Each structure stands twice: as structure tokens, then as C-alpha cells.
Amino acid sequence: MRTRQAATHSHVGFDTPIQGLRARMADALERLDVLETRQGHMLETVAIDALRVRRQRLEAYLNQARFAFADSYDRATKAQVR
């Protein structure tokens, strides 16, 4: 019985600091949600930019392959004519 009373009395006065900490935690969680959303948008933007660069590179490779194929075809046609 005395131990229970001692434990109860040892927590007296902590209500206000605990409420303050709860409020700070709630604010921190809200800020965290906002930052998480921003980070998601930033990652999306970076990924889209990287994919655009990759697409442009692949289009350039495709054009080079087309010209190489056309050149090869032209040389093969000229060789047959001779």
C-alpha cells in the first residue's frame, strides 16, 4: 500500500510537462507529414527528369541506328549493282 502511494505521489506535477511534450510531438508529427510530402514530390521530380534524359538518349541511339542501317543498306545495294 505504501509503495503504491509513494509511486502515485512521485508522479505529481508531471501532468503539465507531459501535456507540453504531447503538444510538441503533435507539432513535430505534422511537420514530418509536410516534409514527407515535399520529399515525395521532390523524388518524383528527380525521377521524371532522369527518365526524360534517358528517353532523349534512347531516341538519339535510335536515330543513330536508323542511319547506320540505312548506310549499311545503301552500301549493300551499291555492292550488288557492281
**Mean pLDDT score, 14-40:** 95
| pLDDT > 90 fraction of the chain, expressed in percent and rounded | 72
Q: What is the mean pLDDT of the chain?
A: 92
Q: Where are the alpha helices (DSSP H) in the chain?
A: 2-10, 15-81
20 lies in some domain = yes
67 lies in some domain = yes
The CA angle 57-59-63, to the nearest 5 degrees, is 115
pLDDT on residue 47: 98
8 lies in some domain = no
Q: State which residues form the domain around 57.
A: 14-81
- Tens digit of pLDDT for each residue in 58-81? 999 999 999 999 999 999 999 887
Question: Which one-letter DSSP state was computed for residue 11?
Answer: T
The amino acid at residue 78 is: K
pLDDT on residue 15: 83
For the record, the C-alpha cell of 25 comes out as 510531438
Model's pTM, two decimal places? Answer: 0.59
Please tell me the total count of domains within the chain.
1
56 lies in some domain = yes
